[in-house]
Structure 1
Amino acid sequence: MALSKSVDIVYELVGAYFHSLYSTPLKTKALTSCCIATLGNYVSQKLSRAKHLNHDSLIAFALFGFIFGGPVPHYFYQHIHKLTKHSLGILLIERILYTPCFQVLSLYMLARFEGKTHETSYAQLEKLYWPVLAANWKYLTLFQFINITFVPPMLRVLVVNLIGFFWSIYLANKRAKQTAMDRARKE
């Protein structure tokens, strides 16, 4: 009996999510991206055994997810279908044009949202851009291909959110290591 109540709750939550995604997609994607990015950053900090939570980093990931992480992909995928409907064309445009630009935006804005200056943010961007972009192309291209080609359109946002959670963990970890290295060089 207790198991069926748990399953019912899950079905209700998933149903509410899909209804919200259908009725207010931009708001839903912004809020979902905010939560996923924040949770990914939190998990990254816990996995790295940080003694204290970096609240600036949590807030930066939340703001980035809400302002950019949900809306920018929403509009990109909404308009990409005007250029091509073929999954390979979508994948190539997404990987070659969109991903490099979005990585610049994410690395720079995360640093700015943490309160870093333009110069510091730009310097961190220069150090992290190519390794992060290469990792994105290397590890996420297959998942993006599967999502675009085989996942029904209604479930694609859910799959991207799952991928985004693990990417947030990776990105937070990579940024934290770079910040620690920069701090060690100054001392």
Structure 2
Amino acid sequence: MPTHSVLIRDQALVTRLLQQYLHLLKTYPIITKSVTSAVLSALGNLLSQVLESKKKRKDGQSGKEVDVYGPLRFAVYGLVITGPLSHHFYHLLELLFPASAPFSLLKRLLLERLIFAPAFLLLFFAVMNTLEGKTHSDLQDKLKARYWPALKMNWKVWTPFQFININYVPVQYRVLFANLIALFWNAYLTSVRK
């Protein structure tokens, strides 16, 4: 059992790390959000692979090895696409629908759910297809088979979280909030794309 001094030391370390993160977020917002997106996206993919492997072993099948390129692809996507694009989108929402505007909560949600989410999911499929070295024909097949089910699941899972995120989370923390939810969403996307 940890002693009181160890707990205090651990809390101090967490506090320092959080303060450093907040400083980086203020000083270098896009880079910080991009790196955070990369790390959490990679962890989501790794989590999916580990859970899938455990499930297969539990079902008596041989669990496959971890695909090290999977987390790498998700990290690239988080770094290059999710971090910067989400940062700019959340700021755009503030400009288009300030909190004082009538029905701003609903307008933000509708724009995010009906325009941004479908486009972002399509971009995800296209970029991952490219990073995997697949053909345009492969992308078309995957989109036909998996885009609509993934989008419906996105609407089911993400809508309450995005309502909270875009209306109640301060704009500078929205990418982080979404990335924490996306940790599990990316695990789902990994399994759906297979």
Scaled by the length of structure 2, the TM-score of the pair is 0.85
Counterparts of 1:73 and 1:154, CA distance in 2: 11
| Counterpart position of 2:46 | 42
Give the counterpart letter for 2:109 in structure 1.
L
Contact 2:91 2:171 in 1 (8 A): no
Give the CA deviation at 1:55: 2.4
Matched, 1:163 2:181: yes
Question: Which structure has the bigger radius of gyration?
Answer: 2
Q: Quick check: 1:60–1:111 contact (8 Å CA) kept in 2?
A: no
Aligned partner (choices 76, 81, 86) of residue 63 of structure 1: 76
Residue 29 of structure 1 is matched in structure 2 by: 33
Large movers: runs of 4+ above 4 Å: none
Segments of structure 2 that go 5 or more residues without pairing to the other structure are 54-62, 99-103
Report percent identity of matched pairs. 39
Match of 2:110 among 92, 95, 101: 92
2:133: which partner in 1?
115
Q: Is the 8 A contact 2:41 2:182 kept in 1?
A: yes
Superimposed CA distance per residue, residues 65-115 of structure 1 (whole angstroms, 9 cap, x where no aligned partner): 111011111111122222112222111110111000000000111121111
What count of residue pairs does the alignment treat as equivalent? Answer: 176
* Cα RMSD (Å): 1.4
Q: CA deviation at 1:119?
A: 1.6
Residue type matched to 1:17 in 2?
Y
CA distance in 1, matches of 2:19, 2:134: 40
* Matched residue SS, 2:129: helix
TM-score, with length taken from structure 1 = 0.88
User: What is the CA–CA distance in structure 1 between the aligned matches of 2:132 and 2:71, rounded to whole Å?
Assistant: 9
